[in-house]
Amino acid sequence: MYKSNEDQFNQLDCLSDEELCRCAESGDRLAEELLVFRYNRLVRSCARPFFLIGGDSEDLTQEGMIGLMNAVREYDAEKEASFRTFAEICIRNRLYSVLRAAARDKHQPLNQSVSLDTPFFDPSSYTSGTSDLAQRSPEDFLIDREHTKSLLSGVRKQLSEFEAKILGYYLDGLSCREIADAVGKSPKSVDNAVQRIRRKMAQQLLSGDFSKS
């Protein structure tokens, strides 16, 4: 039985994404699982900027996976878009939808603190000098892709060479273990670097000093 599944998997792996979607539409669960495997890294790369700003990594990745599954089940090759393009749109739309919902409910765990200690969008967490920041919604910060790119650009200037390398790999969707292998460090060193990047991201966000490049 195991050998049969392995053979089927190898046969499916030779198919294009679009062909796999047709198989999945016909009820082939293995084809569906293979597409999820192929696009797992894309899900992580879409979710990670929001995690760095203040979201919950696991929650965001799970929501991105739901977006990916929606893409697998709703893809229409007749609309002339590649599956990858459609999948990325579905993943991002799912993330944006969840973040909008979190903006309406300040108690959602998705809105973790950028300071890693105090509520991210709780006005009582800030002084009068940052009241404008406190009044902004998560949607203001998280939904605007250009704002996110600008924020990341500004943060890169504050990173060490090692942290900048880690950030590049991290935003590409590599796991901590994959990054550790790439840079020759332990997964713990990589995780520590990610947490330092988050703290610098928090400082950048609270200062309001964003790069315009």
Query: Which domain CATH number covers 33?
Result: 1.10.1740.10
Q: Is pLDDT of 46 > 60? A: yes
Q: Are residues 163 and 77 in the same domain?
A: no
**Coil, helix or strand at residue 185:** coil
Q: Answer whether residue 113 is part of any domain.
A: no
* Low-confidence winner among 19-23, 64-68, 128-132, 164-168 (lowest mean pLDDT): 128-132
Q: Are residues 10 and 78 in the same domain?
A: yes
Q: Answer whether residue 83 is part of any domain.
A: yes
Give the CATH number for residue 164. 1.10.10
Nearest to 19 by CA among 68, 70, 82: 82
Q: Which has more confidence, 81 or 192?
A: 192
Give the separation between CA 18 and CA 113, rounded to whole angstroms.
Answer: 40
Q: Are residues 98 and 137 in the same domain?
A: no
Average pLDDT, the chain: 76
For residue 130, the enclosing domain spans 123-207
Q: Are residues 27 and 100 in the same domain?
A: yes
Q: Are residues 59 and 99 in the same domain?
A: yes
Q: Are residues 24 and 77 in the same domain?
A: yes
Give the separation between CA 72 and CA 67, rounded to whole angstroms.
Answer: 9
Q: Is-contact 154 204, C-beta < 8 A?
A: yes
For residues 59-79, give the mean pLDDT: 91
Q: Answer whether residue 118 is part of any domain.
A: no
What local confidence, expressed as pLDDT, does residue 145 receive? Answer: 57
Q: Answer whether residue 115 is part of any domain.
A: no
Q: Is-contact 154 211, C-beta < 8 A?
A: yes
Q: Answer whether residue 135 is part of any domain.
A: yes
**Coil, helix or strand at residue 125:** helix
Query: In total, how many domains does the chain have?
Result: 2
Q: Answer whether residue 193 is part of any domain.
A: yes
Q: Answer whether residue 116 is part of any domain.
A: no
Q: Are residues 58 and 130 in the same domain?
A: no
Query: Structure pTM?
Result: 0.69
pLDDT tens, residue by residue, 142-178? 445 566 677 778 888 889 999 999 999 998 999 999 9
